[in-house]
Amino acid sequence: MPYVIAQPCIDVMDKSCIEECPVDCIYEGSRKLYINAKECIDCGACEPVCPVEAISQDRRVPDDQEEFVLDNQRFFTETLPGRDAPLGAPGGSHSTGVIGVDTPFVTAHDGGGQ
């Protein structure tokens, strides 16, 4: 997985990264944004525009936030609450619109956004 959005995005969701992404691979949950690794081209355009520095390459996620690497995958590979099937790689967030739910990990998380 090239890029991951971690804990600082929870309850912030500035969305500058969505506007900057050339391939539309950033999806909106309820409390956090998620990058689809199958759609991401690893360009890094999203990273510098994040005002809370929540985005990094998966191998550069701070040690205390490593669970967000797996959780970002779960958003696309596991069935989210209230949905009938995993999201998978639907071809861009503009086609799906706001997903509006998060993984159980993020839902249970105590936040941390600014």
Alpha carbon distance 37, 77 (integer Å): 11
CB hemisphere CA count around 10 (13 angstroms):
18
Residue 9, token pair as written in the block: 């995005």
Rounded Cα–Cα distance for residues 10 and 108 (Å): 11
The hierarchical CATH code for the domain 3-103 is 3.30.70.20
> Bridge partners of 55?
5
CA distance 25 to 81: 21
**pLDDT averaged per 10 residues, the chain (length 114):** 90 94 97 96 96 95 94 96 95 94 94 50
67's enclosing H/E stretch is: helix 67-77
Return the residue matching tokens 């509006």: 100
Backbone CA torsion sign across 105, 73, 28, 99: negative
Domain spans of the chain, in order of start: 3-103
- The pTM is what? 0.93
Cα radius of gyration rounded to whole Å, the chain: 12
End-to-end CA distance of the chain: 26
Confidence (pLDDT) at 2: 79
